[in-house]
Amino acid sequence: MEGEKLRGIVTERDYCWKVELENLTAKTTLVREIMTPADKVFTVTPFTTLEECMALMDSHRIRHLPVIKNGVVGIVSIRDVVRGIVEYQVFLLQQFQGYISGRT
């Protein structure tokens, strides 16, 4: 971040590919040297659906999406997206089971 502006993102993939595999050291390597710059970072808003996040992550082979609303308000990970989708599927299944059994 630079003030409220996103300058880039650093993930474990950046670290592995740009520090470990190039024999750099964590003590001397600056974040700006290994981060994915903002112009190559995909972002979402708080109103982006989980399905849209999953499609974006899948098509671009990424695992993290900064959430932007007047600046960065958070980060969504692939784990967050999968968890949310699974929780929603479980909810739908429970509703369907209740409907079939006549409980709703």
Q: Are 46 and 73 in contact (CB under 8 A)?
A: yes
pLDDT, residue 63, reads: 96
* Structural domains for the chain: 1-40 (no CATH), 42-104 (3.10.580.10)
Phi/psi zone of residue 67: left (φ > 0), alpha (ψ -120 to 50 degrees), beta? beta
Using pLDDT thresholds of 50, 70 and 90, give the confidence band for residue 104. low
Burial of 5 (0-12, 13-18, 19+ CB in 10 A): exposed
**pLDDT score at 67:** 97
User: What confidence category does residue 20 fall into, taking pLDDT thresholds of 50, 70 and 90?
Assistant: confident
pTM of the full structure:
0.82
What confidence tens digit (pLDDT) does each residue in 21-71 have? 888 998 999 999 999 999 999 999 999 999 999 999 999 999 999 999 989
Please, what is the Cα angle at 82 between 77 and 84, to 5 degrees?
A: 95
